Amino acid sequence: MMSARGPAVDRLLPLAGLPALDVPAAELARARELTARHGMVREAGVDLADPVITRVERFAAERDRPAITGDGARVLSYSGLAAQARRLATLLEDEGVEPGTVVGVGGPRSASVIAAFLAIELVGALYVPADETWPAGRVRDVLDQAGASVLLLADDGAGDAEALRQGAADAGCRVVRIAAADGLEPWPGEPRLDALDQPRYVLFTSGSTGRPKGAVVEHQGMVNHLWAKIVDLELTGADVVAFTAPLGFDISIWQMLCPLLLGGRVDVVGDEVAHDPVAFARAVDDRGITIVELVPTMVRHLLDDLAPGSRESGATTPQTPRQRPLPGLRWMIATGEELPAELSRRWLDAMPHARLLNAYGPTECSDDVTHHTVTAGDLRLLRLPIGTPVVNARLYVLREGDDGTWAACDAGETGELFVGGVVVGRGYLGDDERTREAFYRDPFGDSPTGRLYRTGDAVRLLGAGEGGEDRPTLQYLGRVDRQVKIAGVRMELGEIEAVLQRHPSVGAAAVVVHEYPAG
């Protein structure tokens, strides 16, 4: 049966329908005090009201400059990007798209995808990406569950769109080429933003049942995360961010939008370059890219190919500072996988000019909720810290008692991570049951969303000085369902893996438990 088409908010569980997290009154006060004392709440005044398209048009009017560059693509200025977005907004209205409805966008990473997002923002709809690498069945499931009636196809001449077309057809979703907007009159209205909690996009994550879950993020959560990156990375209009993430990944949102808030530049990196460490390193240098985000596995490949004596470096002698690779790179952000201490040591030795950020966050909470700049002092730990909250996030480390109530953890203790604040999303689209499993009414109060998200991740609250920081920080230990008890002793499988990976001959490790019958 096809999903309902229409306003997405009608298929979201209201706050009153969420379960209450059982925290006794005495523990509520203690949790608030511990959270404040350990710096797990971070308030900052950032402008959440401006849509991204508003900033784009402001820069276009003040001093036009390149907004988007990339693989085989023409340079698109801020004025060109704004004009394409407004023509696409006209196309969407012609296709019957209304505020609050979901619009699919499919194809390769491109300037057209970014313009499509801005057009969807203009008309007050929700963006849902369909990655060009997905099989038709996945495309069908995502578009069907999202209730999308239109799929904007960015067929810029790269890739094969057949799976996207077939999946859209199976979902009863019309396919409209982005190129069909060429020649249309620009949409004349103001961006439709009725409230800061207006749903802005939906991203589908894998579900344990095999059915994807559509996590809905609000406008305020998305914009807050963009500013969180700007604040912590000290971004300016001179920065160039590599757009490397597949469209279905949450990090694609900030990569393609964040520089546009500052007058910076997005550089679109196609898969052929992004998956080849040598070609990617050359692109970073040639295009002046200053900010890169990769999974640790790709960071390892990049270091391997840039090491002295490798095919890229061509060097056989130790590097001098002048010879160090990627001299213009300011930040490497590691995300999506646990960042091993051994890999961090290699990065700090090889790239002292480019800081390494360990980022952690769930799709359900507007992407990253913690940042940590890795230092040499962190390397003595078995597992690196994931850091402290991004702006306007509230983090609670809680432990469930035998009676089902929750208590706050102090420094040195291990618990489950809960997230509150403006970063928390709305829940899963059209899936009340799984929303109730992960989202709660926030019992701690003062939350703009009123929601608390249960991550399912075990963390340890490190005291000041335990890592490389002089303030408390969080250490990721793995999923709570990976904690096992052997001979009465609780063990974290991820911690055992971390010890194994410290050995220089071990590139990766996985620990599982096998149970054998007695005797």
Q: At what angle do helices 78-94 and 52-62 cross, to 10 degrees?
A: 140
What is the rounded CA–CA span in Å between residue 413 and residue 344?
A: 25
Least confident of 230-234, 247-251, 365-369, 476-480: 476-480
Look at residue 49 and tell me whether its pLDDT is greater than 80.
yes
Q: What letter would DSSP give residue 412?
A: T
Average pLDDT over residues 376-392: 95
pLDDT of residue 516: 41
pTM over 0.85: yes
pLDDT of residue 501: 65
| AA identity, residue 227 | W
463-495 residue pLDDT tens: 888 877 788 999 999 988 754 434 333 355 655
Least confident of 23-27, 118-122, 147-151, 506-510: 506-510
* Domain boundaries along the sequence of the chain: 42-396+416-433
CA 296: distance to chain centroid?
Answer: 15
344 in Cβ contact with 364 (< 8 Å): no
Please state, rounded to an integer, the average pLDDT across all residues of the chain. Answer: 89
> By CB neighbour count within 10 A (0-12 exposed, 13-18 middle, 19+ buried), where does 206 fall?
exposed
| CATH (residue range 42-396+416-433) | 3.40.50.12780
User: Could you tell me which residue, 181 or 310, shows the higher pLDDT?
Assistant: 181
Spell out the residues 6+ positions from residue 26 whose beta carbon is closer than 8 angstroms to its own: none
User: Could you tell me which residue, 317 or 256, shows the higher pLDDT?
Assistant: 256
User: Could you tell me which residue, 89 or 485, shows the higher pLDDT?
Assistant: 89
What is the rounded CA–CA span in Å between residue 118 and residue 56?
A: 9
478 in Cβ contact with 457 (< 8 Å): yes
Q: How many residues are given for the chain?
A: 519
331-334/291-294 β-pairing:
parallel
pLDDT of residue 518: 42
DSSP string, 256-268: HHGGGGTT-EEEE
> By CB neighbour count within 10 A (0-12 exposed, 13-18 middle, 19+ buried), where does 5 fall?
middle
Spell out the residues 6+ positions from residue 475 whose beta carbon is closer than 8 angstroms to its own: 381, 383, 384, 385, 386, 459, 460, 461, 462, 467
Query: Cα-flanking dihedrals φ and ψ of residue 359, to 5°?
Result: -115, 140
Q: What is the dihedral of CA 268, 271, 276, 278, to 10 degrees?
A: -20
pLDDT of residue 445: 81
User: Could you tell me which residue, 241 or 479, shows the higher pLDDT?
Assistant: 241
pLDDT of residue 430: 95
181-192 residue pLDDT tens: 999 999 999 999
Two tokens, residue 307: 């090491």
Two tokens, residue 338: 């646990």
Query: Cα-flanking dihedrals φ and ψ of residue 297, to 5°?
Result: -60, -45
pLDDT of residue 308: 67
What is the rounded CA–CA span in Å between residue 262 and residue 187?
A: 24
Average pLDDT over residues 174-179: 96
